């Protein structure tokens, strides 16, 4: 049996732990494992696939990133191809991928990725490739799994940043607005903001009113709390408004969300007279060592994916449905993007202790 692994989309701490667990589980069954490099580039004739043996995965469980490398511009069904005039057209190169996989003797692929990569996995499955999915994203926005690896590490990184901002904000009587990742999901902002005791948390699931945000800051000021910390998800937007985006994205890449923190800080300063600063935490959230929780979850996912191959659960994705790792159809996970539920106890807890959501 020869299987292959692919990591696609934005990286997330824990990818290497999945790779290690999948490779060791497969080798221990007597299987052979290939690593498809840079998303699916290794199957598009752009670079070779790499053999993954015990030595290749030694000492990587605690490392961030992915030894296979990744891309969010490599959808084989819409592959961007540069034209002689410098423009790009998107081509369906999935037949080429299938053919290359066949010629390498690949019998099944474990695709480790977020919603974009899982959608590609589903389409390859429909084309006849034997696919198993492993959900990955720091955004925690994949349905059907309680959480994804990478999320806990990103939240920890954000908490550490908010703790540091607290001391400088307090010294200067300032408002500091910190923007975290998450695309259209507010999980990183909500969890880090609550754990690190932010004063206001703005998430895409609750469009904000800047007057309400300023009201909260003025009230704190009156109560002798002359500083405030606002944690904003990059996809948050004002009532009746739109999410902020950051310039052009490259061919084949999704729209880049972000830039809302700077706008909010400017409005707060204008409306309250309080000196305000903003910060985009950015890719720090995607880097570094996975937390113990993420390492363990990633390891469990990697081994479960190989069990799913052995059980021929094609088109299925491993998922955490505590306390168990289960498999569910990838198509089911793709039905809707997971979002923060407004009546979830994490939201209720934040409200109960006085955190504002700008509504």
- Binding site residues, ligand F6P, CB under 6 A: 10, 72, 114, 137-139, 181-183, 234, 256-257, 286
* Cβ-count burial 147-159 (b if 16+ within 10 Å, e if not): bbbbbbbbbbbbb
Kindly state the smallest distance separating residue 114's Cβ from ligand F6P, in Å: 6
The burial class, CB within 10 Å (0-12 / 13-18 / 19+), for 240 is exposed
Spatial neighbors of 221 by CB under 8 A, at least 6 apart, are: 272, 274
> Given the complex with ligand F6P, which of 59 and 247 has the nearer CB atom?
247
The burial class, CB within 10 Å (0-12 / 13-18 / 19+), for 231 is buried
DSSP string covering 264-309, please?
HHHHHHHHH---EEEEE-GGGGG-SPPPHHHHHHHHHHHHHHHHHH
> Given the complex with ligand F6P, which of 169 and 236 has the nearer CB atom?
236
Kindly state the smallest distance separating residue 303's Cβ from ligand F6P, in Å: 24
Kindly state the smallest distance separating residue 282's Cβ from ligand F6P, in Å: 8
> Given the complex with ligand F6P, which of 191 and 220 has the nearer CB atom?
191
* SS3 call for 113: strand
User: Is 139 one of the catalytic residues?
Assistant: yes
Residue nearest to ligand F6P (CB): 181
CA 70 – CA 200 distance, rounded (Å): 35
Kindly state the smallest distance separating residue 245's Cβ from ligand F6P, in Å: 10
H/E element holding 133? strand 131-135
CA 286 – CA 150 distance, rounded (Å): 7
Q: Pick from 184, 158, 271: which is nearest to 236 by CA? A: 184
> Given the complex with ligand F6P, which of 169 and 340 has the nearer CB atom?
340
> Given the complex with ligand F6P, which of 181 and 231 has the nearer CB atom?
181
Say which of 115, 139, 156, 294 is annotated catalytic: 139
> Given the complex with ligand F6P, which of 246 and 342 has the nearer CB atom?
246
Kindly state the smallest distance separating residue 339's Cβ from ligand F6P, in Å: 14
> Given the complex with ligand F6P, which of 249 and 269 has the nearer CB atom?
249
Backbone phi, psi, residue 344, to 5°: -70, 150
Backbone phi, psi, residue 174, to 5°: -110, 165
Kindly state the smallest distance separating residue 334's Cβ from ligand F6P, in Å: 15
Asked, as a colleague might, if the bond just before 334 is cis with ω within 30 of 0, I would say no
Please give the structure tokens belonging to residue 116: 């974009």
CA 208 – CA 132 distance, rounded (Å): 39
Kindly state the smallest distance separating residue 246's Cβ from ligand F6P, in Å: 8
> What residues act catalytically?
139
């Amino acid at each position: 049996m020869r299987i292959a692994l692919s990591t696609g989309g934005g990286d997330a701490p824990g990818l290497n732990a999945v790779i290690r667990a999948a490779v060791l589980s497969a080798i221990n069954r007597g299987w052979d494992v290939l690593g498809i490099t840079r998303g699916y580039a290794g199957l598009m004739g752009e670079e070779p696939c790499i053999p993954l043996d015990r030595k290749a995965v030694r000492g990587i469980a605690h490392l961030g990133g992915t030894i296979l490398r990744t891309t969010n511009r490599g959808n084989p069904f819409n592959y961007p191809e540069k034209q002689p005039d410098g423009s790009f057209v998107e081509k369906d190169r999935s037949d080429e991928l299938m053919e290359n996989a066949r010629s390498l003797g690949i019998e099944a692929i474990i695709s480790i990725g977020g919603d974009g990569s899982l959608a590609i996995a589903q389409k390859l499955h429909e084309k006849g490739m034997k696919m198993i999915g492993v959900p990955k994203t720091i955004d925690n926005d994949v349905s059907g799994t309680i959480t994804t690896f990478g999320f806990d590490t990103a939240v920890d990184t954000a908490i550490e940043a908010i703790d540091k901002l607290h001391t400088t904000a307090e010294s200067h009587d300032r408002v500091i607005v910190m923007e975290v990742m998450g695309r259209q999901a507010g999980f990183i902002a909500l969890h880090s903001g609550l754990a690190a005791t932010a004063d206001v948390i703005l998430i895409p699931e609750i469009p904000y009113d800047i007057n309400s945000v300023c009201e909260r800051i003025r009230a704190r000021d009156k109560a002798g709390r002359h500083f405030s910390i606002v944690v904003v998800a990059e996809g948050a937007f004002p009532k009746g408004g739109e999410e902020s985006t950051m310039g052009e994205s490259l061919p084949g890449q999704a729209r880049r969300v972000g830039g809302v923190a700077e706008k909010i800080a400017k409005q707060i300063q204008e409306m309250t007279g309080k000196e305000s600063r903003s910060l985009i935490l950015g890719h720090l959230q995607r880097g570094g060592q996975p937390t113990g929780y993420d390492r363990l979850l990633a390891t469990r996912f990697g081994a479960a994916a190989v069990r799913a191959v052995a059980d021929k659960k094609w088109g299925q994705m491993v998922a955490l449905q505590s306390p168990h790792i289960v498999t569910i159809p990838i198509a089911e996970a793709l039905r809707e993007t997971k979002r923060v539920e407004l009546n979830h106890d994490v939201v209720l807890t934040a409200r109960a202790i006085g955190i504002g959501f700008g509504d």
